[in-house]
Amino acid sequence: MTLNSVIASIILYRRENKLALAEIIEDSDFLFRYFRTMRAHATNMHAPPTQDLIESHIKGLGFSMENKGKKNCKVLLEPRISELEN
pLDDT digits (tens, 9 = 90+) for 9-62: 888 787 777 889 999 889 888 888 888 887 766 677 777 888 998 999 888 888
Query: What b-and-e string marks burial along 38-67, b requiring 16 or more CB atoms within 10 Å of the CB?
Result: eeeeebebeeebebebbbebbeeeebebee
14-24 tens-digit pLDDT: 777 788 999 98
**pTM > 0.75:** no
CA atoms within 13 A on the CB side of 47: 6
| Residues linked to residue 75 through DSSP beta bridges, in sequence order | 19, 65
pLDDT of residue 9: 84
Mean pLDDT of 61-84: 80
